[in-house]
Amino acid sequence: MHKLNPHRTIEELKELRSLTGDENGAQRVAFTQTWADARAWLQRKAESLGAEVHRDEAGNLWITLQGESPKALLIGGHIDSVPNGGWLDGCLNTLAGLEILRRIDSQYNGKPPVTVRLVDWADEEGARFGKSLFGSSACSGNLDLNEARGLKDKEGMSLPNALQARGINFDELMNCGRELRNAAAYLELHIEQGPVLLDLGLPLGAVLGTFGVERHAITFRGQAAHSGSTPMDKRKDAFLAAAKMSPEIYRIAERNGGVCTIGSCLTRPGIVTSVVEECRVTLDQRHLDGDALTRMLTEAREASERFAQEGNVMVSWERLWQIEPIPFDNDLIALCEESIAETCGTTHRLPSGPLHDAAEVARAGVPTVMMFVQSLQGISHNKIEDTKEEHLEMAVSAFDRLASKAMEWIASR
């Protein structure tokens, strides 16, 4: 019987790094020649396995082992990287998936009980056009075509033209949705890109879902006045109201078990001798639970109005962006935990701060789960991104167990 070879995944990760990286890190930015080279390398490996390989209308690469049942287990990853990226983000998922396909192909002589498919999503990172989850959102039906049509890179090249150069027709993108027709479960392995597992000393964790996000600009408006001649009790100080509100907003996030960031603060007139007339701060709030996120937002609005009234200034809110929380499938989360416990003893459940392709697949209604492996330094999108090799091997083993369990789960439904 064919045995899984997790060490081969590490060797292939290093091979990919030497083919498509330089002294500054990974350079597989989507739709560039280096990305196409990485794809061709992956495709050759998949074809030597005897799998059916094709590219869909959005440029996602599908590697299929046709099973006795058309119901399909999907394993996803992305071989594209940010410029000067790390050696694991995205391609760990893809190459672990390839190794699992090899094991399944050999175990079932090319005909597993359910269909098993590896998908390499196109442009997960959005590094060039500022639009992440491109291929997976086309597949889920959530890609905003009007927005995508207008996107340009730094050189002024439009997204539709860049796609055309890679043989992808913008007007046919959304047809790729049919790839999900028989999808019965979706699995994605990823490096954590944060410090939670590292701080707990655990190699692996089961991911509960991705955070919902509320992103707003809050503007306080008061009155500019001379910093010397205006008595303190006569001032309408927009900055002071924003400043007093800020610790309250952080307390609200803490109380509700979410996270928040005031990431920018702009003042006008912004000179040393004037009371601030206008102060604009941005607020990013995140939570895994939709009701809790709504509560955080409501309480933050109330706080802003209270401090505005106290300071005799006006306040207004403007929504910049929003996405609902995307919870993963409870059955698959349980199977993911089992697989981790069988591989390394201890497991942990955690939410994902960043969005991933898995969120798009879950939004399309496919039962989904992700597994995280510890990140050293909790750092990603940087050439110093790293994970211990023993943890990478554990990740491939645990993820393989999860694939087996998910196949049984699909067959039993």
Binding residues for Zn ion, rule: CB under 5 A, are 89-90
Helix, strand or coil for residue 191? Answer: strand
Q: Is the dihedral of CA 122, 123, 128, 132 positive or negative?
A: positive
Q: Least distance (Å) from Zn ion to the CB of residue 194?
A: 12
Residue number, 90 or 311, with CB nearest to Zn ion: 90
User: How many whole angstroms separate alpha carbon 174 and alpha carbon 180?
Assistant: 12
Residue 82 or 159 with smaller CB distance to Zn ion: 82
Give me the least distance between CB of 209 and Zn ion, in Å please.
16
Question: Shortest gap between Cβ of 93 and Zn ion (angstroms)?
Answer: 7
> Least distance from C-beta 10 to Zn ion, angstroms?
18
Cβ closest to Zn ion, residue 286 vs residue 356: 356
Residue 192 CB, shortest distance to Zn ion, in Å, is 11
Cβ atoms of 70 and 113 within 8 Å: the answer is no
d(CA 48, CA 12): 15
Decide whether 189 or 332 has the Cβ nearer to Zn ion: 189
Residue 304 or 375 with smaller CB distance to Zn ion? 375
Short-list 161, 32, 140, CA closest to 148:
161
Looking at the Cβ atoms of 76 and 90, the one nearer to Zn ion is 90
CA distance 6 to 400: 9
* Nearest residue relative to Zn ion (C-beta): 90
* Cis peptide bond N-terminal to 269, omega within 30: yes
Q: For the CA atoms of the chain, what is the radius of gyration?
A: 24
Do the beta carbons of residue 395 and residue 95 sit within 8 Å?
no
Q: How far apart are CA 45 and CA 118, in angstroms?
A: 12
For the bound state, the minimum distance from the C-beta of residue 305 to Zn ion, rounded and expressed in Å, comes to 39
* CB 356 to Zn ion: min, Å: 6
State the amino acid at position 261 in one-letter form.
T
Q: Which is nearer to Zn ion, 211 or 307 (CB)?
A: 211
278 or 357, CB closer to Zn ion? 357
Tell the smallest beta-carbon distance from residue 114 to Zn ion (Å): 26
Helix, strand or coil for residue 381? Answer: coil
DSSP H or E segment with residue 23: none
56 or 120: CB nearest Zn ion: 120
DSSP state string for 28-45: --TTSHHHHHHHHHHHHH
Cα distance between residue 322 and residue 339, in whole Å: 33
User: Exposed/middle/buried for 247, CB within 10 Å: 0-12, 13-18, 19+?
Assistant: exposed
Nearest distance from C-beta of residue 190 to Zn ion, angstroms: 6
Residue (337 or 385) nearer to Zn ion, CB: 385
Q: What's the angle, vertex CA 356, arms to CA 254 and CA 40, rounded to 5?
A: 155
Tokens of 20: 């498509």
Start-end of H helices in 201-289: 238-256
Name the residue with tokens 């211990």.
388
The distance of closest approach from Cβ of residue 362 to Zn ion in the complex, given in angstroms and rounded to an integer, is 16
C-alpha dist (Å) from residue 352 to 120, 290, 296, 325, 327: 20, 14, 18, 10, 10
